Amino acid sequence: MADIVGDDNLRLLWERLRESRGDATFLEFQNRDGAVTTHSYRAFDDEINCTANLFLSLGVQPGETVAVQMHTCPEFMLCLFGLAKIGAIAVPMNEQYLKPEAAFVLERTGATCAVVEAEFAGLYAELSQTGDYLPKGLLIARASRGKADWPAAARRAHEQGGAVRCFDAERAAQPAVLREERPLSSNDPAEIIFTSGTTADPKGVVLTHANLLYSGLYGCWETSLASRDRLLTTMPACHSNFQLAALTPVLVAGATLIVVEKYSASRFWQQVRDYRATVAQCVAMMLRTMMVQPVQPGEQDHCLREMLYFLSVTDEEKEAFERRFNVRLMNTYGSTETVCWVLTDPPVGPRRWPSIGRPGLGYEVRIMADDGREAAVGEAGEIQVKGVPGRTIMAEYYHDPEATARTFTEDGWLRTGDRGYRDIDGWFFFVDRKANMIKRAGENISTTEIENVLVEHPAIEEAAVIGVDDPVRDQAVKAFVLPAEGASLDAEEVRAWCAERLAAFKVPEFVEFVATFPRTCSLKIEKKLLR
């Protein structure tokens, strides 16, 4: 198939970047302690080659999977591209995984080795000694004092002859020229990203070299990204937000990527200004926490021309944020499975908030009613996406043909499971995720609608709503409420607030107050844990 990617691959991309952008700054990385390191394209490619050679020395073969569990850092990117250069497959592990979740992914993918930060090493050392996990060993990265920073389980495994090594030291000992150039195709898998699994077991989304390259080309179109741009992100490296909407567009453009390892509401906007970012990423939690920070002098003095955003907050929140910081939000919609933000505000021209945009280049989008027909204008239904598997949308779910088949319609459209509608002019609007629908006595209730009403209360900082079993009405509505700092309210006040603004059948029957919410690494509330 001839398309915009052709038969390019990630190794060729880095070869071209080395030649055309070698001395330009690729990465400015600020770790959680505030220390900053800078990497040129040429220097980073040297480190990628050292990493690839390390994997070659371990006997990693084309098509083998390697697990990577780290916070957002240069070492994560070295592993992603080092493996891609030799035809192996990276498996990013959510940085919040515990033993059962890590074991699930290792079993599903058959990962032959893992590269993890010191804080996660004990978990993987235990797994490698209790089952047929990681036959080619465990590499521990970002241990500043070497083995002294290893957890006891990792040191014990090493002392007992286990294949536990120092990633940083062994990478540094490798040559900066790739020792072996294996055949690569754009259709080869480059990584398997497991969905966050907020409501069910995660599934492994297979992304090819073509998928990653296309996401870069698409992101450049979407944000008008050029080599002079500086894109700032605090998104977790294991997530598609970071990889497909920040990292790959920066690479395709030959721009500069600014990575802040840990988001801080009190420091983020000053970082945007100090780093002279022209594009930045934002999610609802960030927007809301920034708005409660004290106003600082010069907040509107910045270089930002676009803030990538995902789904909507209230009209009042959006207007207040844009007015305070003198920036506009680019609303978008997509998923790991769709690869790119398939619905997006256009890079130029009018926008129609709270619309999530129109279909972007290379995609078709339709709304399908529950009875199987294409929905009329203004009628809500499932958002479905048409693309090319392995090119513009995911190749498949890894080793799960049944889930893959369920995700695609007979005529080849990807089912998102999300609900939306379109207007007469072709702008799309998001209603809710299918997983966020409560069925109560025959009525469909959107948890998002209730959550939006709850957070409008001045004493409520954040809220999450789920359905709980009800022997009479199928499901009842339960709200989890995080009060604002210093505020006090009770369940009756919460229900009364909702009763004034929602139909009676939508008012929460149960209210539980919480001090914090469990979150995925992409900062979404992990509702399956609330259940």
Residue from 199, 188, 203, 11 nearest 104 by CA:
203
* pLDDT attached to residue 156: 74
CA-to-CA separations, 79 to 23, 51, 54, in angstroms, rounded: 22, 7, 10
Q: Quick check: 332 pLDDT over 60? A: yes
* Domain region containing 211: 206-433
195 occurs within a structural domain? no
* pLDDT attached to residue 209: 98
396 occurs within a structural domain? yes
Task: Provide DSSP, 455-508.
Answer: HTSTTEEEEEEEEEEETTTEEEEEEEEEEPTT----HHHHHHHHHTTS-GGGS-
Structural domain ending residue among the three candidates 416, 433, 450: 433
**Chain position carrying tokens 């129109």:** 358
Residue from 334, 178, 176, 168 nearest 243 by CA:
334
* pLDDT attached to residue 131: 73
Q: Any idea which of 305-314, 319-328, 457-466, 480-489 has the lowest mean pLDDT? A: 305-314
How large is the average pLDDT for residues 202-225? 96
Q: Any idea which of 6-15, 84-93, 187-196, 499-508 has the lowest mean pLDDT? A: 499-508
Residues 136 and 116 in one domain: yes
Residue from 285, 236, 280, 274 nearest 255 by CA:
280
Residues 331 and 480 in one domain: no
Residues 220 and 367 in one domain: yes
Residues 458 and 429 in one domain: no
Residues 115 and 168 in one domain: yes
* pLDDT attached to residue 200: 53
Q: Which residue has the higher pLDDT, 335 or 91?
A: 91
Task: Provide DSSP, 219-284.
Answer: HHHHHT--TT-EEEE-S-TTSHHHIIIIIHHHHHHT-EEEEESS--TTTHHHHHHHTT-SEEE--H
The DSSP secondary-structure symbol of 7 reads: T
* Confidence at 159, pLDDT banded by 50, 70, 90: low
How large is the average pLDDT for residues 239-249? 96
Q: What distance in Å separates the CA atoms of residue 49 and residue 85, rounded to the nearest whole number?
A: 8
Which residue blocks in 110-161 are alpha helix, DSSP H? 118-130, 152-159
Q: Which residues is 298 bridged to in the sheet? A: none
Residues 74 and 170 in one domain: yes
6 occurs within a structural domain? no
Q: What distance in Å separates the CA atoms of residue 53 and residue 508, rounded to the nearest whole number?
A: 57
* The two structure tokens encoding residue 300: 């509107």
69 contacts 93 by C-beta, under 8 angstroms: yes
* Confidence at 198, pLDDT banded by 50, 70, 90: very low
pTM recorded for the entire structure:
0.86
* pLDDT attached to residue 201: 65
Residues 446 and 425 in one domain: no
* pLDDT attached to residue 311: 64
CA-to-CA separations, 27 to 45, 106, 235, in angstroms, rounded: 11, 30, 15
How large is the average pLDDT for residues 177-196? 94
Which residue blocks in 35-117 are alpha helix, DSSP H? 41-57, 74-85, 99-109
* pLDDT attached to residue 440: 78
Structural domain ending residue among the three candidates 371, 405, 433: 433
How large is the average pLDDT for residues 348-360? 94
* pLDDT attached to residue 21: 98
Sign, CA torsion 114/404/336/462: negative
247 occurs within a structural domain? yes
CATH number for position 341: 3.40.50.12780
What would the pLDDT profile of 390-424 be if each residue is shown by its tens digit? Answer: 999 999 999 999 999 999 999 999 999 999 999 99
Q: Which residue has the higher pLDDT, 192 or 96?
A: 192
* pLDDT attached to residue 301: 96
Residues 167 and 253 in one domain: no
Residue from 481, 484, 473 nearest 506 by CA:
473
Residues 6+ away with beta carbon under 8 Å from 252: 13, 213, 216, 217, 219, 220, 225
* Confidence at 469, pLDDT banded by 50, 70, 90: confident
**Chain position carrying tokens 């089952």:** 131
When divided into structural domains, the chain yields a total of: 3
Residues 244 and 392 in one domain: yes
Residues 230 and 328 in one domain: yes
Residues 460 and 394 in one domain: no
The DSSP secondary-structure symbol of 400 reads: -
